[in-house]
Structure 1
């Protein structure tokens, strides 16, 4: 008994341990819910970023009566190969996001890009208006990350990338010609970037997305209806971990093999069967500095373009370099699918299990045949997924997606 006549009793060791155990169980139960709530918030933020991009595209179209060109910029004084770097011109390699900067609250960035720049402040011009080619990270705009182009769920930051993007222009359901479009860019041409009849026919047959590389497009070209056509898609950026969604394999000059079988990388095989989201350790990788989404300003498919050939979160399948064409599908760090931006500005979440036809059917191109279901103008071989990526396939969409 205490002096006051009242017994004072504290917690026993057993009772303390029981309380601690209960708290631990509650934390264990609540932590996944907290993580899920955080991811839901990040996913919503990602969707909002995409909506702002869609609004910017529509405002651009209202201002200029066309969509921003994917593959725009300045030409060099002498003809160059389209993959060559240049400090005196952007070599017509700028993505849609460069032209969109003043329409997505990046007026200051546009002012830098559209004017000559004296980087070292010595009184002489280091870069002309519209900058150098996008791999030049000494040019400040190309090395700058724009918050409006980043998904909060994607942890990739810093070198060896330049400014990253998690959003990409939709180029349609065929990779043929995606790296070149309508311009004949050769270093032995008499003038920079001539247009040729043959290349125009190639592009007309294969470039079936809302954005046609190096050509002006308008909303009126989207005959399937803006609400039924994907305008842009989400992509995950590379983390240096051999994720087959974010780094290309070096398959040599296998362009035609991949054109005729989009599942070429899966069938060879190059994918780790025990970890299907990663390349085998023996698979040749196309350079650690060439990750997916590593250059927001570069129009090449691997950096800021996407296709509706393989379904979301399948592998990106490349050839001998990132300057070439590749099967560049959409991907994300969200569970189970990707965001897409429709032509009318709506943002939708497409699951990995979307109906995507036959992933081993040859792609549509000028040399396609009726037997292969890939003649110019054919309906997409890649089901609902492919149909959503084409602007004028006239496929009927049965219900919502």
Structure 2
């Protein structure tokens, strides 16, 4: 007798069951994706904090070596000369010889002694090789191509000077110069209403004479409104003993606000990372911090406010990192009380900080 062989039975999904499984997977992915993105941002924020911690330690090691904190940048040079060796008065004027800045030349120092705080702390950040790309050239003015090796240094994108939440280290200006995502704190800013910054908060948060960051009150050394970073053209140096508000109550470095679609080209991000002169590329003032997403687009002249360029801020959604004068790093919310933030940015106002407002 012949026996019929049973065919194997295959169980499978019905179309409805398959659609249900796909829907469940989609929901799970939707739930997990924000968590993954949040974890990645937390890691980037931590790396940013580590960057700022290294800068703080480097600044304090600099202070141990030179008995003052790293000075900020300046424009020109107090001893600026022409190519024939004769005095260049325009360059010297921008170096701070006059009571206030005059002339029309700006935005770079003539020698490396006038480069910024980020350059000066390189040897204390294990970047001696980059530091030694610079030279002690004469203070020629106006600009001489690659004077003192400024472009050789600018071509090196320092990873520790970039916040990973904003961008990776890269070169701009036809791959010639890098930028920096951090800024030194220059204290209180007397607002430049003539530059279209009419929306600066009322006193005591910013109203003042019609001057720019290159005006004499805004060099980081106005008594009662001093910043940790100071313009050195007239010989100013910030001593630890001058930070009378307390090292842990004073901001030295912070992240800078920058519109996300203007990297490398905006007025607050268009100069060499090492030599931008006394400029908002590497300096910020006491104004309440704002996130990149709220930084308004660049508007030339007086057609709109560019005051935000003087603000600290960050690419982080909730706040920014800042290094205090004792080398510690704290994360501050964008909702920080504006007046308390102002006190943090000034090192000699003798104000009491309300910790609950941070």
Report the equivalent of 2:227: 209
Change (3 A) 1:295 1:397: same
What residue number does 2:162 align with?
Answer: 150
Q: Is the 8 A contact 2:226 2:346 kept in 1?
A: yes
- Taking the TM superposition and a 5 Å limit, the aligned residue runs for 1:108-257 are 108-114=129-135, 127-129=146-148, 131-132=149-150, 139-155=151-167, 157-160=170-173, 162-175=177-190, 179-180=213-214, 203-205=221-223, 208-214=226-232, 215-240=236-261
Partner in structure 1 of residue 344 of structure 2: 388
- Aligned match of 1:66: 68
Q: Between 29-38 and 213-222, report the one with greater CA deviation.
A: 213-222
Rounded to whole Å, the distance in 2 between the matches of 1:8 and 1:209 is 77
The separation in 1 between residues aligned to 2:53 and 2:7, in whole angstroms, is: 71
| Length-normalised TM-score, structure 1 | 0.64
SS in 2 for 1:113: coil
Q: Which residue of 1 aligns with 2:269?
A: 292
Aligned length: 297
Q: TM-score, normalised by structure 2?
A: 0.71
Matched, 1:95 2:116: yes
| Aligned: 1:37 with 2:50 | no
Q: Conserved in 2, the CA contact under 8 Å of 1:293 and 1:304?
A: no
Asked if structure 1 preserves the Cα contact closer than 8 Å seen for 2:111 and 2:136, the reply is: no
Hey, what's the Cα distance between the residues in 2 that align with 1:232 and 1:104? 15
Deviation track 1:256-293 (CA, whole Å, cap 9, x = no partner) reads xxxxxxxxxxxxxxxxxxxxxxxxxxxxxxxx453437
**1:140–1:229 Cα change, 3 Å:** same
SS across alignment from 2:90 = coil
The CA RMSD measured in Å over matched residues stands at 3.6
Residues 1:76 and 2:88 aligned together: no
Moved more, 328-337 or 90-99: 90-99
Contact 1:181 1:212 in 2 (8 A): no
Q: CA deviation at 1:232?
A: 1.2
Q: Which runs of 5+ in 2 are unaligned?
A: 82-87, 95-103, 138-143, 192-210
Shift of 1:46: 0.3
Q: Against the structure 1 CA distance between its residues 101 and 87, is the aligned structure 2 distance closer, same or farther, given a 3 Å change threshold?
A: same
Return the alpha-carbon distance in structure 2 between the equivalents of residues 91 and 207 of structure 1.
Answer: 27
Q: Secondary structure at the match of 1:204?
A: coil
Structure 1 portions without partners, runs of 5+? 117-124, 133-138, 183-198, 248-287, 357-382
Structure 1 contact 142–296 (Cα < 8 Å) conserved: yes
* Change in CA separation of 1:293 and 1:45 when aligned onto 2, cut-off 3 Å: farther
Q: Which moved more, 1:75-84 or 1:14-23?
A: 75-84
Secondary structure in 2 matching 1:303: coil
Post-superposition offset of 1:398: 2.9
Q: Does 1:338 align with 2:320?
A: yes
Distance 1:201 1:162, change over 3 A: closer
Cα contact 2:107–2:277 (8 A) shared by 1: no
